[in-house]
Structure 1
Amino acid sequence: MLEELRLDDGKFKFDIEDEISQSPEREFEFRYAQEADNYNDVITFPSMAEMFKDRNKDEVRRKIADKITTEGVPKTIPRENLAEERKKWFKVMSKERKSLRALQYFTHNKDISWGDILSWGYLEDLQVYAIRREQGVQYFEFLTDIKTLPWWDVDELVKIKNIKQFNYGLEVKQHDQHLWEYVKQQAKAGYPDWKPDRPKKIVTILENVEKDITFDIKPPRCLKNMPLHAMEQDFHEEFQGWLYNPKTAEAVISLFDKSTGESRRICILDLMWLVNGSKKHIDCLFYNKIVYEKADKEQAMQYQKIVDVCFAQDINSGRY
């Protein structure tokens, strides 16, 4: 650096003691603020919360005064009538659609319903439409077959996301695109032309004069036999874990190939597909329990229970 500044001949000199003069020595002088003793001169401002609190109090008093002026002093409600009066305090919310769910579904036991729709989509490998419900899967060969479902189920199919939307695929088969758009338009208009099944309402008067309403639903035109789905047999060496995906109502098996460094997954929509796994496949899923959120425990445990039964009863595809 001295060479670049051409100061290598000894001319460079920098002495801190010679260049910077010392500050004069002074004793510290404490100065007392006389204004600190003048408490009467201090001005305090109320907080925003107190300002709004006072404003709300004035508003409440004004409303009470207006109500007493127009309606008079309200009468005290007797304790025995207090429970009935409390019911009027809150707005009556509309009942969930599930309360209209009929119990006569197309199942092995007509007294048991398959429950609400969780997800649905077109399965390209099986070439069928599958509707995943709370207690099983219904398969339809053609999109037109959903017309045999009750109208509230068609409404649900139109509203919920399709499985293919999560996998970046088409909602329905290519040649069913126009039909599916037509069905969605009809659903918005209340089905003026394309009419799904309208179940017959059966009203029964009970002893307490209340009405018991049941819908007599016809069996939908779904496949009676479950399509056979081939399961991958040797994935235990790449297995990382499996979990329940609430968005698609599927059990997702996560795999990782160490040789290529690539990850992939196997999606299980129907829990009965697990029966077609090999023995090592069943053992792997039995010892590594499925992962799920607390709210999805009931649905996730359906997959785990199938694996547990297959492990205990030695049920598998026959391949070790």
Structure 2
Amino acid sequence: MSDVERRASPPNPAEEPDMTLTDPETTTVTAERFRDAVDSDGVLERLLSSSATLSYDPEKEVDWDAPLEPLHDGVNPEWCTLYGTDLWERMGPEQRALLTRHEAASVASIGIWFEMLLQQMLLEDIYAKDYASPEFQFALTEIADECRHSIMFARGSQLIAGRSYKPAKGLHRAARLLKWIAKGEVAYTSILVAEEVLDVMQRDWMRGESVNPAVKTICKIHVVEESRHMKFARHETLEAMKGAGRIRRQVSAAMIAMVGYFIVKSLVQPDVYAEAGLDVKEARKAAASNSHHQSLMRLSCVHLMDFLSEAGLLTSFAKRMYRRVHMI
């Protein structure tokens, strides 16, 4: 296993990275603080408690005024879609760094897009629920987190790349339907699919020696706060799937897999190659056949696929969809 594969190996979903941010009023995150099983007894209360203690203000934590160094990467180079290809070998150091920064901006921008959909799905799901319940209150807490994350990603993209990205126009329009059709396990597992993939990537990027310091801090904040969101999504998915019949499992698994397919397919937009001064057609062809990047994608989804299997949402159709974007 390579160094990047060891770093990127997805941790146990119940574990958290050791992380201390600069605010003296915050607390160091430890594995013990998050080691709660996905059960129904007290999970949501613990998540609410940790939210009150371990939430961060990107305005204070990120050095937004630091100068941008031309050789600072946006992602660990090994995660670049062209890393290890002949085209990568022909690129100079500054061009490589520029490409990684635009890829990071693209991933962050797609994250914003999906987080906006996520917020709408959560609001639809909790609209009629008991306002006093921990489930209702944590869902609103998560929405507040996602608002801060989206602003943080938008500013980060502007900082390192001078622009943001959007998915293809047709997909951007069609995704508006998701808030109406994604209910229960479809909504929460779709959220989990997106967050699990980003989580593994960002755990590696935040340790990258050449990664821009602002990006590293952004990744650390997101990893810590998304850990709670993933626990919530797992909890809600397992609750929703209790007693689900075969037809419901098949339909839900298919919908979740299609969401996962389009999210992963959209992470790195073709414009990033043009921004780095590359021929877009040549770069896309090289990226599409890059076995190194495909291997990292599969590695990042190991625990996700285990959970989908446990929940009864890894059907034959779903597996085919995930294989098309190298998630399995």
Hey, which of these two has a bigger chunk of strand by percent? 1
Is the TM value for this pair above 0.5? no
TM-score under structure 2 length normalisation = 0.26
Structure of greater relative contact order (alpha carbons < 8 Å, 6+ residues apart):
2
Hey, which of these two has a bigger chunk of helix by percent? 2
Q: Which has the larger radius of gyration?
A: 1
